[in-house]
């Protein structure tokens, strides 16, 4: 599932003189209308360049933010269009909508080598509903579809799945690169294979954890997820964030891990404070006996050492979710310590995008890990061995 087996590649598509609809992921961070990190735009450039070099007309489609099916001025793509134009050093025409006669006619008037950017596809409720009529309208001006938005490939939306029923469909270069890296982990991982799981909420990690238990040799649990695990195991976690509705599921996963001989490693100590705020007074304490009025916001130094020793012995590593509230001092040391251990490891290491990828980049360690995925949720879904309809539509 994670490998490129059977996936149709953009390199093999006949695109000369064709209009190619390209699903990209330009869900970039904005501050006051300005892009603060253009990494997601840059990752699309190889596929766009390939299409233009081969005489295609490129029509790019993306979402930005969560506009809930209606137009939101702050989530329009004008700044994205400007930045892309700078990066590819040619004009990018941003259209006022992603469907409709005006957009379709303007695209038809274009020539080979032209680049169009459709307006935010999530301004229409038909996108996330995978409405067939909306998918047909998106596909209408195009001859070929290329999916190069790995971060959304686990979504069965109109622009990722619906259009594949109407156009010959191929994987872009970014999607191929992701599948090659993840395939190495999924198909025949070198062992010991260790998963590191963090992040704020246990609820979003339970599905992946349940599936990973059958694939890995050990799981290190940090972040807010750890406190839900500790509570489920009967420990006192004070006022730490706990997903109360998941406790029975956590116990089930722990039992499953025990049956399969998979070690789940929980924090020994934690960085504690009375509230999450920059510069707040903090202390290191027992993660399994936290007093009322105190909460854990990071793993402690003893846990970092424990995790680092286990990371050093691993030959395959997958990490998703920071070890604490790393963006707020004094709660960054746990994520930093684990990141340094992963960077120093000789293992093949995959970082599951999102906040974890951001943390690795901020720490200047991006060049010292094997691969940073562009999609947190998509990365986990592939590593779980899930059948992803938008990905399956590119096979055959």
Q: Roughly how many angstroms between the first and final C-alpha of the chain, as a whole number?
A: 13
- In a shared domain, residues 141 and 286: no
Compute the average pLDDT of residues 294-313.
98
In the annotation, is 377 catalytic? yes
The count of structural domains within the chain is 2
Distances (CA, A) of 12 to 115, 128, 396: 21, 29, 13
Q: Is 310 a catalytic residue?
A: no
Q: For this structure, is 166 an active site residue?
A: no
Residue 2 falls within a domain, yes or no?
no
Task: Answer whether residue 74 is part of any domain.
Answer: yes
289: Cβ contacts below 8 Å, ≥ 6 apart: 235, 236
Instruction: Choose the catalytic residue: 300, 321, 334, 354.
Output: 354
* CB contact at 8 A, 322 and 223: yes
Q: Which of 201, 210, 288, 315 is catalytic?
A: 201
Q: Which of 176, 202, 223 is the last residue of a domain?
A: 176
Dihedral angle computed from the Cα positions of residues 203, 206, 208 and 209, in that order, rounded to the nearest 10 degrees:
140
User: Which residues span the domain enclosing 256?
Assistant: 189-383
pLDDT digits (tens, 9 = 90+) for 66-117: 999 999 999 999 999 999 999 999 999 999 999 999 999 999 999 999 999 9
Which residue's entry shows tokens 């012995």?
313
Q: If pLDDT is split at 50, 70 and 90, which confidence band does 265 have?
A: very high
Considering 23, 40, 57, 177, which one is annotated as catalytic?
40
- From the centroid of its chain, how far is CA 358? 11
Residue 392 lies in a domain: no
**Residue 183 placed within a domain:** no
Indicate if 50 and 140 belong to the same structural domain. yes
Question: Does pLDDT of 361 surpass 60?
Answer: yes
pTM for the whole structure: 0.87
336 labelled catalytic: no
- Does the pLDDT value for residue 299 go beyond 90? yes
What pLDDT digit, counting tens, does each position of 204-249 carry? Answer: 888 888 888 999 999 999 999 999 999 999 999 999 999 999 999 9
């Amino acid at each position: 599932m994670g490998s490129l087996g059977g996936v149709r590649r953009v390199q093999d598509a006949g695109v000369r003189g064709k209009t190619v609809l390209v699903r990209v992921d330009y869900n970039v961070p904005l501050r006051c209308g300005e892009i603060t990190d253009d990494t997601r735009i840059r990752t699309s450039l190889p596929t766009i360049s390939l299409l233009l070099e081969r005489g295609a007309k490129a029509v790019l489609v993306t979402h930005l933010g969560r506009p809930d099916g209606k137009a939101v001025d702050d989530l329009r793509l004008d700044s994205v269009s400007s930045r892309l134009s700078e990066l590819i050093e040619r004009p990018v025409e941003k259209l006022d909508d992603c469907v409709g006669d005006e957009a379709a006619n303007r695209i038809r008037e274009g020539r080979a080598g032209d680049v169009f950017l459709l307006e935010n596809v999530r301004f229409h409720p038909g996108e996330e509903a995978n409405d067939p009529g909306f998918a047909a309208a998106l596909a209408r001006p195009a001859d070929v579809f290329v999916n190069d938005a790995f971060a959304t490939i686990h979504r069965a939306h109109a622009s990722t799945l619906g259009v594949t029923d109407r156009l010959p469909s191929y994987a872009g270069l970014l999607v191929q690169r992701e599948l090659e890296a993840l395939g190495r982990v999924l198909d025949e991982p070198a062992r010991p294979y260790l998963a590191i799981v963090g992040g704020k909420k246990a609820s979003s990690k339970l599905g992946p954890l349940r599936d990973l238990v059958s694939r890995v040799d050990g799981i290190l649990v940090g972040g807010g997820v750890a406190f839900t695990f500790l509570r489920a195991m009967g420990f006192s976690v004070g006022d730490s964030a706990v997903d109360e509705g998941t406790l029975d599921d956590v116990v089930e996963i722990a039992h499953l891990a025990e049956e399969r001989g998979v070690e789940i490693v929980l924090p020994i100590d934690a960085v504690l404070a009375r509230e999450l705020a920059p510069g707040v007074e903090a202390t290191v304490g027992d993660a399994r006996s936290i007093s009322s009025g105190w909460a854990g916001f990071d793993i402690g130094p003893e846990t970092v050492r424990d995790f680092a020793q286990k990371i050093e012995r691993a030959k395959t590593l997958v990490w998703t979710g920071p070890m604490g509230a790393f963006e707020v001092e004094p709660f960054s040391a746990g994520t930093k310590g684990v990141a340094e251990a992963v960077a120093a490891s000789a293992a093949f290491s995959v970082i599951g995008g999102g906040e974890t990828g951001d943390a690795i980049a901020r720490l200047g360690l991006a060049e010292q890990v094997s691969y940073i995925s562009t999609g947190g949720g998509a990365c986990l879904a592939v590593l779980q061995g899930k059948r992803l309809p938008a990905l399956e539509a590119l096979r055959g």
